Amino acid sequence: MGHVILQHMVDDAGLTDHVRVSSSGTGDWHVGEHADPRTVEVLARHGYDGSRHRAREFDPDEFDDIDLVLASDEGHVRTLTRLARTPGNRGKIRLVREFDPEAVAAGTLETGDPWYGDREHFARCFAEVEAACRGILHHVRAQVDGRFVDQVETPVGSRGADRDRHTDPGQP
C-alpha cells in the first residue's frame, strides 16, 4: 500500500529522477504474490493502481544503497535493526508514521496491520499510510531540494539522479 501511494506522490511531485521507491517484507511468506485484494481495492477507491505490485523480501545488503528504511510497527523495527550490520544502517530505520505530524502528536506511531481485519481496517490503514506518505514526500523533497537526498526503503512488514533515492513505504 505504502509503495503504491508514495510512488504516485513522488511521480506527481516530479521527483522520479531523484527518488526510487521500493517495497519489501521482513519475511518471505508472500514473495512474488500480488498485493492482498483488499489492499488493491482500497487503493483503487482512492485513485491508486496497486494491481502490479509484487511482494519481495528485504535484503540486508540493500541498506548500503538506501537512505531511509520505513517500518510499519515496532516489531518490524526490531527485525530490521537485527538485520542492519552497522550503526549507520540502524540509524536509517524509522516508523512510517513518524512523518505524520498528527500521529506524532497523538503518540500513535505504529501502522495498524489490517491483515486479519475487514475492509474498514484496510480503509483505516490506507488513511494512516497516505497521511504518512505526505510527510515522507515533504521530507524527501527537502532533501532533494538541497539539504541532502533520501533513499527511502519501507519494508512491507512480515507479510508480504545522483545516487538513487530509494523510498519504500511499508505495506501492512
Sign of CA dihedral 85, 91, 92, 96: positive
- Does the pLDDT at position 168 exceed 60? no
Query: Nearest CA to 163 among 60, 22, 58, 20?
Result: 20
- At 11-65, the pLDDT tens digits run 999 999 999 999 999 999 999 999 999 999 999 999 999 999 999 999 999 999 9
- At 144-164, the pLDDT tens digits run 987 544 445 554 443 332 223
- Does the pLDDT at position 108 exceed 90? yes
Percent of the chain residues past pLDDT 70, beyond the cut: 85
Contacts of 93 (CB under 8 A, 6+ apart): 69, 71, 77, 80, 81, 84
Q: How many CB atoms lie within 10 A of CB 106?
A: 10
Q: What is the pLDDT of residue 161?
A: 29
**Across the chain, what does the average pLDDT equal?**
88
Tell me which CATH homologous superfamily contains domain 2-167: Response regulator (3.40.50.2300)
Instruction: Domain ranges for the chain, please list them.
Output: 2-167
Q: Which residues are annotated as catalytic?
A: 113
Q: What is the pLDDT of residue 146?
A: 76
- Asked if 90 contacts 81 with a C-beta cutoff of 8 angstroms, the reply is yes
**pTM, to two decimals:** 0.84
How far are the Cα atoms of 16, 74, 139 from residue 142, in angstroms, in the given order? 15, 26, 5
- Taking the C-alpha atoms of residue 41 and residue 73, their distance in angstroms, rounded to an integer, is 23
- At 54-87, the pLDDT tens digits run 999 999 999 999 999 999 999 999 999 999 999 9
